[in-house]
Structure 1
Amino acid sequence: MKNTFIQALKLTIVCLIFFSGIYTLIILGIAQLAPNQGKGEVITDNGKTYYANIGQSFTQAGYFNSRPSAVAYNAAGSGGSNKGPSNPEYLAEVQKRVDTFLILNPGIDKKDIPADLVTASGSGLDPNISVQGAKVQVKRIAKVRGIEASKLDALIKEQTEQPLLGVLGPQKINVLKLNIALNKIK
C-alpha cells in the first residue's frame, strides 16, 4: 500500500510540473509563431479595432449578415444554445430567423437559405459564413447600396478563404473582412 501511494505521489508531482509548467511554455512558444503571437487577428478600420476571429453582429440591410449567435456575440461567454434539433423552442427560433431572412431578402426560396445563416454555431462566435451564405444576400445588398451584383460576386470571390491545406474544412468567408471590403467599393 505504501509503495503504491509513493508511486501515485511521484506521478502526481511529475504531472503537476509538466502540465503547469513545461506544457504551458511549449504552447506559449507555439503561439509566438502564430500571427499576432496567438492573440487573434486584429483589424483596425476607421479608428475602430476589431477581432477578426470573433463573430460580429451585422444586421443592417446594406451589409452581409453574420451567423446568428446564441451568446449575443459576447466573447466572454462563448457557448451554444444547448437545445437539441427537435426542441420546440429551438425550432421556433430557427423558423423565426428563416421568416426574417425571407422578409429581408425577397425572391429567395426557403430551400436556398444555407443553414449557417439561421443556426448558431457551437461557440456562438463563428466569424465566418459559407460562400452560399454570402451569395444568397447579394441581391439585397446590391439593391440597398446601388452596386452591381457582379461587383459583389467578385468581392465574395476575392474574400473566400480556401480550406486549410486545400482539403481540411469548407470554403468560408469572414463576415467582418467582407463588410470592411464592401465599404471600400465605390
Structure 2
Amino acid sequence: MGKDIVSALRPAFVLTLLFALLLGIAYPLALTGVGQLLFPWQANGSLIRDAKGEVVGSGLLAQGFSGARYFHPRPSAAGKGYDALASAGSNLGPASQALADRVKADVAAVSPAPGQSVPADLVTASASGLDPHISPEAAFFQIPRVAKARGWPEARLRAIVGHATEHPLLGFLGEERVNVLLLNRQLDAESAQSAP
C-alpha cells in the first residue's frame, strides 16, 4: 500500500518541481533577457539621468514641481503626494464634497484670473496619482507663469512645449501628451546653455 502511494505521488512531485523550475526560474529569466536585449531603457525603469550620470527621476513617474520656473504636473493622491510606494487614486467620487472642495481650491490656486477656465488635468489626479504626463493644453496654460518667472518670451516656451509634445502611437493610439519631467529638464538645459 505504501509503495502505491509513493508511486502515485511521484509524478505529482516531479511535475510540481518541473513547472516550478520552468515557470518560476526559466520563464522569468527568459523574459528578463528579452526585455534587456530589445527594450533596455524601458526594462530598467525608464530612468532619466543628469549630466553626471546620476538618476534624477523616471519617465514613467510624476514628480512634484512647485516653483514658478517649472511646469507643474497633475495633482497627486499618492500618499502625501507623488509617493511611488503609495500609488493610488483618492477614490473620491463625483458627488464627494471633499473632492469638490479640493478641486475648487486647486482652480483658485492655478488660475491667474478669477473665472478663467483651467484644464481639468491640472486640478484632477490620475488613477495612480503618478501620471507623468499632462495635456498640451495644460502645458500651454502654464506658459505665461513660466515665461514670467524665467524672463523668457512666451513664443520660446510655446516652441519648447510643441517640441516636447508626444503624439499618439501609430497616429491614433492614445492622446497627445507632455512629459513634465522631460519638459522641465529641457528648460534647465536651455537655461544652462544660455547662461554666461
TM-score by shorter chain over 0.5: yes
Change (3 A) 1:148 1:78: same
SS of 2:101 mapped into structure 1: helix
Could you report, residue by residue, the CA deviation over 1:75-122 in whole angstroms, capped at 9, with x for unpaired residues?
A: 1221111111221111211111111111xx347712xx2111111111
Identity of aligned residues (%): 39
**Regions of 4+ moved over 6 Å:** none
Task: Confirm or deny that 1:61 pairs with 2:65.
Answer: no
For the residues of structure 2 that align with 1:30 and 1:117, how far apart are their CA atoms?
38
For the residues of structure 1 that align with 2:151 and 2:42, how far apart are their CA atoms?
40
2:99 alignment counterpart: 90
Task: Confirm or deny that 1:131 pairs with 2:136.
Answer: yes
Larger radius of gyration: 2
Residue ranges of structure 1 left out of the alignment (5+ in a row): 1-5
SS of 1:29 mapped into structure 2: helix
Aligned-pair CA distance for 1:26: 4.4
1:158 alignment counterpart: 163
For the residues of structure 1 that align with 2:24 and 2:129, how far apart are their CA atoms?
29
2:88 alignment counterpart: 79
Could you report, residue by residue, the CA deviation over 1:98-149 in whole angstroms, capped at 9, with x for unpaired residues?
A: 11111xx347712xx2111111111111111110010001111111211001
For the residues of structure 2 that align with 1:156 and 1:24, how far apart are their CA atoms?
39
Aligned-residue Cα RMSD (Å) equals: 2.6
Change (3 A) 1:123 1:43: same
Pick one of 26, 44, 50 that aligns with 2:49. 44
Q: How many residue pairs were aligned?
A: 176
In 2, are the aligned partners of 1:108 and 1:136 still within 8 Å (CA)?
no
Name the amino acid aligned to 2:104: Q
Q: TM-score, normalised by structure 2?
A: 0.78
Q: TM-score, normalised by structure 1?
A: 0.82
Residue ranges of structure 2 left out of the alignment (5+ in a row): 1-8
In 2, are the aligned partners of 1:73 and 1:124 still within 8 Å (CA)?
yes
Name the amino acid aligned to 1:153: R
